[in-house]
Structure 1
């Protein structure tokens, strides 16, 4: 399946409908995954743990898991991103590098919100680089948002696509087999867009 992301209503209705169908296809993969219940945290790929807010703020759990890096995809510093309306601050997790200094954990925060209109794809590459850095150093990274279902899952899926060359379907299946996740439709469309760029690049390389 080739995913396409259409962003203008001036495109033919048939193309817009096709984009919606592709998102629906990804949602069937999400709904058919192995893990049926929502858990506080799960290691979804060797060295990568997706979790909720409570796990990210528990020194005891972080130590027991051997976490060396934390990627907060729901960081509270909205001043860095003027596109975010302050009324969405209820979904933020208020941590920082200083919060983890006593654990010698390296921190990176992305101030994203879980709404379909938010452009999370602007953070795909920097998140993938941070995750990759943790794994290359032999570390273990916790990627979290508030519930560990949408924002954090989307960025881990993007990492698997960017750094491990998985298709969007393969990346979703990899994560979904280990954790209950459900990125919003806007994030799924952005993953489709990323998948299409990768397919196009491979086609250009081939010829």
Structure 2
């Protein structure tokens, strides 16, 4: 048994590694989406339990945005755990600084980082969006458009989107996304989510 640490400084016990399976299609079976010229990936749990697959993507860093999924390869991969569930009341923003710094360090050193949760839809998407807003200085609406253009299922829950809007306000002193419109339809076309429609024109 080995131990790894989460973003709150707590340790968790990591079970023995599973037996490696054959490499399959990354885009379909493993559901990994390539971002930033291959330096950042987002996906679900099925992206991270096969060392051969991680190696094919040159993944050296993983942000694990779950409480339950093991950090499978702690002797080969550097992990950061963001131990949250996909519930609107979860204070995901308390992990923004650590997660963004972890991703930024990997990317700046030309090492690929995978951010994952169960389905690569809400928790991991929130962390990637936070990185794009905080470190890359993107407007939230633009970051969502970029991410959703590559991964259509991206849809942070309403509480997480509120935290992202608070981050955007802190970074840009303005908001670009209409939370009311997002609450009505999380999968609405990006122009329909613009707080100022001219922003997405």
Using structure 1 for the length normalisation, give the TM-score: 0.66
- Give deviations 1:160-191, integer Å, cap 9, x for gaps: 11111111111111111111211101111111
Q: How do 1:14-163 and structure 2 match up within 5 A? A: 40-46=31-37, 47-74=39-66, 76=67, 92-95=68-71, 99-102=72-75, 104-163=76-135
Is 1:192–2:184 an aligned residue pair? no
The answer to which structure has the higher strand fraction is: 2
Aligned length: 145
Rounded Cα–Cα distance in structure 1 between residues aligned with 2:63 and 2:161: 20
Greater length-normalized contact order (CA 8 Å, ≥ 6 residues apart): 1
- Please list every run of 5 or more consecutive structure 2 residues that lacks an aligned counterpart in the other structure: 1-27, 175-201
Task: Please name the residue that 2:194 is paired with.
Answer: none
Rounded Cα–Cα distance in structure 2 between residues aligned with 1:159 and 1:174: 13
Q: CA deviation at 1:94?
A: 2.2
SS at match of 1:108: strand
- Give deviations 1:121-153, integer Å, cap 9, x for gaps: 111111100000101111000100111110001
SS at match of 1:143: strand
Quick check: 1:72–1:110 contact (8 Å CA) kept in 2? yes
Using structure 2 for the length normalisation, give the TM-score: 0.68
The answer to which structure has the higher helix fraction is: 1
Q: CA deviation at 1:45?
A: 2.5
Task: Please name the residue that 1:27 is paired with.
Answer: none
1:179/1:39 Cα in 2 relative to 1: closer, same or farther (>3 Å)?
farther
Rounded Cα–Cα distance in structure 1 between residues aligned with 2:111 and 2:142: 24
Task: Please name the residue that 2:144 is paired with.
Answer: 172
Quick check: 1:160–1:166 contact (8 Å CA) kept in 2? yes
Rounded Cα–Cα distance in structure 2 between residues aligned with 1:100 and 1:52: 16
